[in-house]
Amino acid sequence: MPQTRITLDESRLPRRWYNIVPDLPEPPPPPLHPGTRAPLGPDDLTPLFPPDLIAQETSSERYMEIPEPVRDIYRLWRPTPLIRAHRLEKALGTPARIYVKYEGVSPVGSHKPNTAVPQAYYNARAGVRRLTTETGAGQWGSALAFACAQFDLACDVWMVRSSYDQKPYRRTMMELFGAKVHASPSPETSTGAKILSDDPSNPGSLGIAISEAVESATPSDTRYALGSVLNHVLLHQTVIGEEAREQLASINETPDLVIACTGGGSNFAGLAFPFLRDSRETRFLAAEPAACPSLTKGTYAYDYGDTAGFTPLLKMHTLGHDFIPDPIHAGGLRYHGMSPLLSHIYNLSLIEAKAIPQRETFEAATLFARTEGIIPAPEPAHALAAVIAEAKAATTPLVILTSVCGHGHLDLAAYESHLHGTLAEPDPSPRIADALTRLP
C-alpha cells in the first residue's frame, strides 16, 4: 500500500510566497475610497497597515521572500502533513486518489497563523505597539493573539457577541496569549455604542466587529489586522500550496482537482494558487455554505467590507454589507463578501464554486473522522463534502487535493447537534435579495 503520510524535509520548506496577480490575464479591479470613489493610493492605507504589508497588497511581483524570523516561527508546525486518505477512498469505493493537506496542527489549530505571524512581524518591524482585529468564531483572533505574543505586541480583539457567549474556550485561548477580548457590539466604540443603544441585545456580526476594530486602530502606535479577504493575506497563505506541491512532486503526483472551503477565500487561495500557476488543466472548486453563498448567489459589485461602511469599497462577490448570515456552525464562513482577488479569478472562470448545506457538511465530517481519525472544523467539512461527491462520481483514478484547514476540537457542540439530529437548514434567499438592494 502506498504511503499514508507524505513528509517533507525541513530544508525544502518554502522560502517565498507566490503572488498570482502578474500571472492573470488582467489585474483585479482596484479598491475605491469610500468617500471620493477614486482608486485607493498606498497613502490611503497608511493609517491601517504598515508599509511592508501595503507593498505586498499592491505588488505585481511574482514571488516574495518569507523573512527568516517568520520562517523560524513557521517551523513550530510547518511543514504540515499531507495525508493520502486511503480509508476514506475505500469507504467510498472510489477509484480517485484523495490527498489532504492538514493545517490543524498549528498552535491554534487552523491555517490562520500562516498570515498572523508575518502580519505581526511586519507591524513590529515598523514600530507598531498594538494591533486591533475582529474575530467571528475565534480562529483568527486566537491566531493573531498567538502571533502578537511572539513579537511582544499588544492585541485587542472584537469578538462577535454570539461567539463570545458560545465559545468561551476560544476567548480563553486569546486571553492566555495576552490579548484583550471585547464582546462586539461593545460600548467602547461609537459604532458599537450606537448599535447597542438601538438594540441592547444585538448578537453582533463580523461586519460590525470589523467596523469596531477599524475604528479602534486610530492611535499612532496602533494598526489593524485582517485575517482573510485581502491580497497580502492570500499571499501569505500560499505557503500551504507551495508545500503541497513539493510533497506531491516527491511522489510523482499532480492534482486533477483541487477543492477547499471559502469564507473570505484565504485557505482556498493558499492551496490553489500555486497549482493555478502550473496548469490550466487542473479543475479548482470552492466549497461555500448554502447559508452564506457569496460566490454562487452573490452579485459581483463594489461593496463595503464592513457593516458601518468604514472600509474601502471592494469589487467582490457580495451578499450585501448588511446581510447577517444565519448562525450556522461554520463561523469562519459567515462573511458577506469574497476576497476581491478570488472573486476576479472566479469571474474569469478559472475556478468553480458550489454551495453545500449544513447537514451534508456534517455527514461528510463524520465519515472523515471515522475513516481518517481527524475531526475537521465545520468550515473544511464543506470541502470534504464536495470531495466526497466528486470521488463518488469519479470513474477514473482522479487525483483530488483538498485542505483540512482546521481541527474541530472546539466545535464539539456543533457535532453534538449533528449526532442528535438537531442541525438547522436555514434558507437565506429572501434576506440576500433584500440586502442586495442596499449596495453602495
Ligand X SMILES: *Cc1c(COP(=O)(O)O)cnc(C)c1O
Question: Would you say 56 or 267 has its CB closer to ligand X?
Answer: 267
HSE, side-chain direction, 13 A CA sphere, residue 363? 11
- The SS3 call for residue 211 is helix
Span between the terminal Cα atoms of the chain, in Å: 57
Q: Does residue number 264 form part of the binding site for ligand X (CB under 6 A)? A: yes
d(CA 309, CA 51): 24
CB of 236 to ligand X, least distance (A): 11
- Among positions 333-352, residues that touch ligand X (CB under 6 A) are 333
Binds ligand X by CB under 6 A, chosen from 210, 240, 261, 316:
261
Q: Does residue number 113 form part of the binding site for ligand X (CB under 6 A)? A: no
Question: Would you say 138 or 185 has its CB closer to ligand X?
Answer: 138
Respond yes or no on whether the N-terminal peptide bond of residue 79 is cis (omega within 30° of 0).
Answer: yes
Q: Tell me the three cell numbers of residue 199.
A: 438594540
Among residues 180, 182, 185, which one has the least CA distance to residue 208?
185
Binds ligand X by CB under 6 A, chosen from 106, 222, 266, 343:
266
d(CA 12, CA 250): 11
Q: Does residue number 81 form part of the binding site for ligand X (CB under 6 A)? A: no
- The SS3 call for residue 139 is helix
Q: Tell me the three cell numbers of residue 378.
A: 465545520
Binds ligand X by CB under 6 A, chosen from 121, 140, 158, 275:
140
Q: Tell me the three cell numbers of residue 367.
A: 465519515
Residue 413: Cβ-neighbour burial (10 angstroms; 0-12, 13-18, 19+):
exposed
Q: Tell me the three cell numbers of residue 29.
A: 479591479
The window from 21-29, 36-44, 246-254, 263-271 that contacts ligand X (CB under 6 A) reads: 263-271
CB of 24 to ligand X, least distance (A): 19
Q: Kindly tell me the sign of the dihedral angle through the C-alpha atoms of 174, 241, 369, 418.
A: positive
Question: Would you say 405 or 435 has its CB closer to ligand X?
Answer: 405
d(CA 137, CA 410): 10
Specify whether the CB–CB gap between 310 and 31 falls below 8 A: no
Q: Does residue number 267 form part of the binding site for ligand X (CB under 6 A)? A: yes
Q: Does residue number 207 form part of the binding site for ligand X (CB under 6 A)? A: no
Q: Tell me the three cell numbers of residue 100.
A: 489532504
Q: Does residue number 383 form part of the binding site for ligand X (CB under 6 A)? A: no
Binds ligand X by CB under 6 A, chosen from 19, 106, 110, 123:
110
d(CA 157, CA 144): 9
Q: Does residue number 94 form part of the binding site for ligand X (CB under 6 A)? A: no
Q: Tell me the three cell numbers of residue 269.
A: 487561495
CB of 404 to ligand X, least distance (A): 9
The window from 53-61, 240-248, 257-265, 391-399 that contacts ligand X (CB under 6 A) reads: 257-265
Question: Would you say 92 or 241 has its CB closer to ligand X?
Answer: 241
Q: Number of residues in contact with ligand X, rule: CB under 6 A?
A: 20
CB of 232 to ligand X, least distance (A): 13
Q: Does residue number 377 form part of the binding site for ligand X (CB under 6 A)? A: yes
d(CA 430, CA 433): 5
- Among positions 314-333, residues that touch ligand X (CB under 6 A) are 332-333
- The SS3 call for residue 57 is helix
Q: Kindly tell me the sign of the dihedral angle through the C-alpha atoms of 317, 319, 323, 329.
A: negative
The window from 24-32, 258-266, 316-324, 364-372 that contacts ligand X (CB under 6 A) reads: 258-266
The window from 255-263, 290-298, 317-325, 410-418 that contacts ligand X (CB under 6 A) reads: 255-263
Q: Does residue number 297 form part of the binding site for ligand X (CB under 6 A)? A: no
Q: Does residue number 159 form part of the binding site for ligand X (CB under 6 A)? A: no
Binds ligand X by CB under 6 A, chosen from 14, 50, 241, 265:
265
Binds ligand X by CB under 6 A, chosen from 379, 385, 387, 423:
379
Q: Does residue number 405 form part of the binding site for ligand X (CB under 6 A)? A: yes
Chain residues in the site for ligand X (CB under 6 A): 110, 112, 139-140, 228, 261-268, 332-333, 377, 379-380, 405-406
